[in-house]
Amino acid sequence: MNGAATGNHPRSVTILGSTGSVGRSTIDLIERHPGAYRVEALAGNSRVGDLIEQALRLRPRFVATADAARYQELKDGLAGTGIATGAGAAAVCEAAERDAEWVMAGIVGAAGLEPTLRAIRRGAIVALANKESLVCAGDLVMAEVARCGATLLPVDSEHNAIFQVFDAHHKPAVERIILTASGGPFRTFDRAAMASASPAQAVAHPNWSMGAKISVDSATLMNKGLELIEAFHLFGVSEACLDVLIHPQSVIHSMVAYIDGSVLAQLGSPDMRTPIAYALGWPNRIAAPSARLDLATIGQLTFEPPDPVRFPALRLAREALRTGGSAPTILSAANEIAVARFLAGGLGFLGIAEIVEDVLEALPATRPTSIADVIEIDAEARRLAARRLDRRAVDAPLVRFA
């Protein structure tokens, strides 16, 4: 039986972030399994033309764009189809709340937090590709998952790999979780070369095809730092049990070490359609078109420890995790602002981590007790990061990590 179907009925799905790389991969898989899925809703941001084209192919019941200024374009593009439309943050949340069994939470950044929570609160199966939800509000999100009986399936290749080999029923037997990282495009660069790196170089990931923001995060290793925080919440282990290992081939996606000396790993070609397919078909498996792994052809798998001097973002993430409270929220918010400025050409590559550390030092960590608190802290960190960046544009650059 196809793992996607529930009885004789197709699985109903909603895709939040449908025009992003994860959303497009999800749609690719759905279209490869005709009759197994029914699309309830799509939500995207400003790529309204792509959103219209997806809706005309998939015929969802509701389509939302987060960009309210583009609403008329969306409405006109779907006129006469019978597809309901909406715009703005409230419409994206409405998409999350519609009655779909399975929701892809693929909106990048803190903007994905509230829609992800809306899906969790109605007890849906939530495929989580938005790591910021757990980074910014991990304790609150996991409490809502438990309270509402939702199912959280990690989609990041690393966490999905861990999920597949993690013995949740015998957690005391787990000794370490080992997150692998490709090392990104600057793995062998010295700091002088990284200082002059361009946005085009930073987004040219050697193994994965991803969006610009996550590609830059991979280049700084901030992505791996955010994943450490996410793994802490997903799997309920201590920070000391979480390791990172550079693995340039991106074949082993993560590992779990056990107290008897066993180390279980999940391997596969670097294609996001593999972890998405695992989540889309869960609790069964569905076929995916990913290239099959040929270890004989690869011939060699190599590993090395991360360099904390050249890649300080990983250290900053660990420190934020140890501090707890609002520190991870501040880390994530400042990083988003700094990465956006780098992509716009207004900040050097090394300045990303410098700004993040500057904001972390300036804002004391607090203990948020609600999502409203998290949103307020996130906004404050963004404002401070923007001010520090504006000041940096006219002052001498910060000198850090020498």
How many H helices and E strands in the chain? 17, 11
User: Residue ranges per domain, the chain?
Assistant: 11-154, 161-269+291-308, 324-394
Report pLDDT for 399. 40
At residue 208, the pLDDT reads 67
Q: What is the distance between the alpha carbons of residues 297 and 158, in angstroms, rounded to a whole number?
A: 23
- Cβ–Cβ < 8 Å for 46, 37: no
- Report the Cα 21 to chain-centroid distance in Å: 11
Query: What single-letter amino acid sits at 297?
Result: T
* The pLDDT value given to residue 251: 96
Distances (CA, A) of 20 to 15, 42, 54, 310, 379: 10, 12, 12, 30, 24
136's tokens: 């910014």
pLDDT at 7: 53
For 324-394, give the CATH class: mainly alpha
As a whole number of angstroms, the distance between CA 347 and CA 338 comes to: 8
Q: Are strands 263-267 and 252-258 parallel, antiparallel or unpaired?
A: antiparallel
Show the DSSP H helices in 32-77 as ranges. Answer: 48-58, 71-77
At 396 the pLDDT is 47
Strand, helix or coil at 273?
helix
Helix axes 222-235, 351-362, angle to 10 degrees: 50
The answer to whether 212 touches 20, Cβ cutoff 8 Å, is no
Identity of residue 3 = G
Q: In CATH, which superfamily holds the domain spanning 11-154?
A: NAD(P)-binding Rossmann-like Domain (3.40.50.720)
pLDDT beneath 70, residues of the chain: 1-8, 208-209, 394-402
Local structure of 302: helix, strand or coil: coil
Q: What global pTM score does this model have?
A: 0.90
Contact present, 195 and 348 (Cβ < 8 Å): yes
Task: Give Dmax over CA atoms of the chain in angstroms.
Answer: 65
Q: Map residue 399 onto helix, strand or coil.
A: coil
* Whole-number Å distance between alpha carbons of 205 and 3: 32
DSSP 221-272: THHHHHHHHHHHHHH---GGGEEEEE-TT--EEEEEEETTS-EEEEE--S-T
Q: Which residues face 181 on adjacent strands?
A: 246
